[in-house]
Amino acid sequence: MTIKWEEEVEKRLLDYMSHSSTTGNEAKFAEVVAKDLEDNGWTVQKQFIPDTDRFNVYATFRNSDPKYVKVLLNTHLDTVPPYFPPTQDDKNIYGNGSNDAKGQLAAMVTAATIISNTDEDVARALGLLFVVGEELDHVGMIEANKLGILPDYLLVGEPTELKFGTIQKGALKVKLTVTGQAGHSGYPDSGTSAIHKMVEVLNDVLKFEWPSDKTYGSTTLNVGKIAGGQALNAWAAQCDADIFFRVVTSVKNIEELLNKVVDGRAEVTLLSSNDPVILDVPPIEAETDQVSFNTDIAYFDAKDKVKAKYLFGGGSIKNAHSKNEFIPKDELHKCTSTLVKLVHNLYSHH
């Protein structure tokens, strides 16, 4: 590889970032990506989301069978709002989607181009699936399941600081509801405060030792919302608290533990959940780490049928979704070269 492809991936990312594709508004940008792939010899299938102008992009090389690929590279086309255009300096590219996930997208398209220019047999075993809606409701991946793609290997691109994920932690969102009795707050015997009761419950939840694992990390939680009470001088008749658990065991396990901690003092309502996804160690030398954010992997129906699934990318999730989002150019280059290396390895040896 020469400096040419390094410049190419930077240029591609800056071009991609010059087009807004906030969730729900991906159509024009998807056209840009589709044309880029077609101009480089890839056959593109546009899969429209029903009753919208939004579509997934699925690409294979020339005469390869779109129903079967050996290695599938996947990431998403959408970004979180608000959109703001890219800037750069000598070391970094800044802006909306720079690492989540247009940086991954640019690296994947560039890697695919490098492979197709050097080994068409490997290119024909490679598929590229770029979906809409990952940042909101995963509608793109849910629809993509209808394509019937069953690869041997799946790699999803997200900002992981060039480390391969060992686990995508599960997600459990619940609402706790405590009921009190309204009354004048100047008279303790006139009622009971739901807020005071909730404070005791949440204290126990926060102090509890939730499951942890050396390889997969710790179950963590965030009390994201609390609402209750009707007046400053009244005992609160009701209090609600929404809690988000990042799960390393199973949703069922955390639900059972939570019910024991709560011990009937609050009503527990399930809002949404998905179990953790255990990821595979790559066949190339690379760092690994746990991943605490959600991705489309959980919504890919064939995830348990593939030989291995990987989560990998450049940049850091810690500055994604913010006005300070950026990707180091060095990581963009390394991400691209790692993808090329991994695809060749999987094709040749596995």
Q: With contact defined as beta carbons under 8 Å apart, do 140 and 132 qualify?
A: yes
Task: Give, to the nearest 10 degrees, the angle between helix 27-39 and helix 102-118.
Answer: 20
CA dihedral 177, 183, 189, 192 (to 10 degrees): 10
Q: Which tokens hold the place of 142?
A: 């849910």
d(CA 216, CA 275) in angstroms, rounded, equals 13
Torsion, Cα of 141, 29, 318, 271 (10° steps)? -40
* 33 to 77, 88, 153, 185, 302: CA distances (angstroms): 9, 21, 23, 62, 25
Catalytic residue numbers read: 134
CB atoms within 10 A of CB 66: 15
| Stated length of the chain | 350
